Chains A and B, each alone.
Chain A
Amino acid sequence: MESAILIRPKYDETTAYLHDWSEIIIGFAENKGVSLFDLNHLKATRKTLLSYLKNNNSSLLLFNCHGSSLALFGHDNEILLTSKDASVFRDKTIYARSCQAGSNLGQVLVKLGGAKAFIGYKRDFIFPFDKNKTTTPIRDTVCAPVFDCSNKIPFTLIKGGTPQDAHSRSMEAYEHWIKHYVDDHSIEAPSIIKCLLWNQMNQVCIEN
């Protein structure tokens, strides 16, 4: 893989966490010699995304944003893509760390649009966080296991692994962290386990 596109708006608490926990992907891609186009903050718009898709042959798209079963959303909830854009994503591998896009949108992009694969979540992507750490999400240990599991997907794809490899690595990480927190007696453990179990259950890898 030569290049990838990272999409990460930042305009509320949820997108701030998604944004900051995606930062690590940039350094990882650099180390692996993969060019990564970073559409962050105000650049996370439909116009910019379509322009990058048109002018670059990026085969991997990494969305970190709000979503629904029908669309993904950029800066200030602007629609980034819907199932009507399916043909634009032909042969692309897409990971959406977003709510619900794995239920319908992902199916359409792969089955009708010809995307190579779509990894996402059938229902909401849920994470716990410490309300006292919102100014420094990366230092929030409460959300860290969920983001560690989900970051396994871009890491594996950037390294050249298949979508199924990426999905499997992520599933292994969920198992690891769930076992870890079952034996942990901190007051945060139940909230963390609930979110890990939920995202593990709802994560799907749809392939053509």
Chain B
Amino acid sequence: MVSEEVKELIKARLEEMPSHIKLSIGSSGPFNKDELIEHVEADDEIGETIIDMELNYMRAFKRFSTK
């Protein structure tokens, strides 16, 4: 479970996703950015995956920027 602050940050990052891109996650269907944000807000299993993926990306980007 992440803080509301982190969740808001992740939602803001998802807002920047291009509208023609969808992500295939699991068997419940590909998701566009609005649907991804809805799952983050709903705190469901898909939302948890999206949050973990975004956090992993942010951690990795620290690594790239220090190279």
- In the complex, the answer to whether A190 meets B17 with C-beta atoms within 8 Å is yes
Q: Which residues of A171-203 are within 8 A (CB) of B?
A: 178, 182, 187-188, 190-191, 193-195, 197-198, 201
Q: How far is the CA of A92 from the CA of B65 in the complex (A)?
A: 42
Say whether B23 contacts A127, CB under 8 Å: yes
- Across the interface, do A77 and B27 meet the contact criterion of CB distance under 8 Å? yes
B45 to chain A, nearest CB (A): 9
Residues of A near B16 (CB, < 8 A) are 190
Residues of A within 8 Å of B22, CB to CB, are: 128-129, 131
Contacts of B62 in A (CB 8 A): none
Let me know if A73 is at the binding interface, CB within 8 A.
yes
Known: A194-B57, A198-B56. A130 touches B21 (CB 8 A): yes
Q: With an 8 A cutoff between CB atoms, is A55 at the interface?
A: no
Residues of chain A within 8 A of B21, CB atoms compared: 128-131, 142, 188, 191
Q: Give A contacts to B, CB under 8 Å.
A: 12-14, 17, 66, 68, 73, 77, 99, 123-124, 126-132, 142, 178, 182, 187-188, 190-191, 193-195, 197-198, 201
